[in-house]
C-alpha cells in the first residue's frame, strides 16, 4: 500500500506490470522510460533472472509533482513471468497499489495468459486483496504481429477470455513500437490515484 510521510508530505505508490513470460512487461517500462524522460528521476534498475528474458524487476520512480499539497512519487515494477519464479512474483506484489496485466496477443500464448491471470488472482488473495477491487487495467500487447502474418488472437476473443468477468479498462498495444503504452499507464495511474484518494481521505 502507498506510504505517506506527513512530515515531508510525500506519497509513494507502487504499480506492478504482471503477465506471462515474454509478454512485453519489460519492454513497456523501457519504452515509458524513453518516452517520458522529464518524469524520470532515477535510472532504471534491473536484475537478470536466468532462463527468463523478463527481468527480476524494473524500478522506475517517476516524479508526478504535487497533488493536494503532497508530492507523489510512482514506482513501476515488472515481475518475472516464468512459472518457476512464483515466490519472486509474490514478493514484488507486496504493497502494490495498482496493476497492469500485459497479455500476449499471439495465439500460442492463449493458455499462458489465462494461467498468469489466475496466478495474479491467487497471489493477490494471499495478501488479502481482490482482483476485482484493486486498480487494474489490461493491455493486449504485440498487436503489430498481425501485420507480419503471425497467428494473433482478435481483440474480441481476448476481451471475452480475459476480461469477461473483470470488466476493466483494456488497451491494444505494441510495446516494441511504443504504441498504447502511454494510454495504458495513464489509465492505471488515474485509477490508482483515485483509489489512494479514498484511502487517504484526500477528498475530505
Mean pLDDT of all residues belonging to the chain: 87
175 within some domain: yes
Q: Is 131 helix (H, G, I), strand (E, B) or coil?
A: coil
pLDDT of amino acid 6: 85
pTM of the full structure: 0.90
Give the pLDDT confidence score for residue 51 in this predicted structure: 52
Half-sphere exposure of 88 (CA within 13 A, CB side): 18
Residue 166 covered by a domain: yes
Whether the predicted pLDDT of 52 surpasses 90? no
Structurally, the chain folds into a number of domains equal to 1
67: Cβ contacts below 8 Å, ≥ 6 apart: 11, 193, 202
Instruction: Give dist(CA 73, CA 22) in Å, integer.
Output: 28
Domain membership of residue 192 (yes or no) is: yes
Residue 161: inside a domain: yes
Per the domain annotation, does 84 fall within a domain? yes
Question: Which domain, by its residues, includes 152?
Answer: 3-199
Residue 77 three-state SS:
strand
C-alpha cell at 121: 488472482
In a domain, 111, yes or no: yes
CA dihedral over 64, 68, 69, 74, signed as positive or negative: negative
Task: Say if 204 falls within a structural domain.
Answer: no
Percent of the chain with pLDDT strictly greater than 70:
91
The reply to whether 65 falls in a domain is: yes
The C-alpha atoms of residue 160 and residue 70 are separated, in whole angstroms, by 40
Q: Which residue has the higher pLDDT, 198 or 140?
A: 140
CATH code of residue 84: 3.40.50.300
User: What is the average per-residue pLDDT within 103-118?
Assistant: 97
Amino acid at each position: 500500500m502507498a506510504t505517506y510521510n506527513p512530515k515531508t508530505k510525500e506519497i509513494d505508490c507502487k504499480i506492478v506490470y504482471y503477465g506471462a513470460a515474454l509478454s512485453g512487461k519489460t519492454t513497456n517500462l523501457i519504452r515509458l522510460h524513453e518516452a517520458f524522460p522529464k518524469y524520470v528521476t532515477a535510472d532504471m534498475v534491473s536484475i537478470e533472472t536466468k532462463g527468463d528474458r523478463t527481468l527480476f524487476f524494473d524500478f522506475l520512480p517517476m516524479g508526478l509533482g504535487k497533488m493536494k499539497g503532497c508530492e507523489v512519487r510512482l514506482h513501476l515494477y515488472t515481475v518475472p513471468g516464468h512459472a518457476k519464479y512464483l515466490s519472486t512474483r509474490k514478493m514484488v506484489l507486496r504493497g502494490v497499489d495498482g496493476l497492469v496485466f500485459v497479455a500476449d496477443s499471439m495465439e500460442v500464448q492463449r493458455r499462458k495468459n489465462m494461467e498468469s491471470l489466475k496466478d495474479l488472482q491467487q497471489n493477490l488473495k494471499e495478501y488479502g486483496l481482490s482482483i476485482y477491487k484493486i486498480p487494474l487495467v489490461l493491455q493486449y500487447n504485440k498487436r503489430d504481429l498481425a501485420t507480419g502474418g503471425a497467428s494473433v488472437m482478435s481483440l474480441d476473443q481476448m476481451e471475452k477470455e480475459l476480461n469477461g468477468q473483470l470488466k476493466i479498462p483494456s488497451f491494444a498495444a505494441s510495446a516494441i513500437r511504443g504504441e498504447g503504452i502511454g494510454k495504458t499507464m495513464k489509465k492505471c495511474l488515474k485509477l490508482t490515484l483515485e483509489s489512494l484518494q479514498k484511502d487517504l481521505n484526500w477528498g475530505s
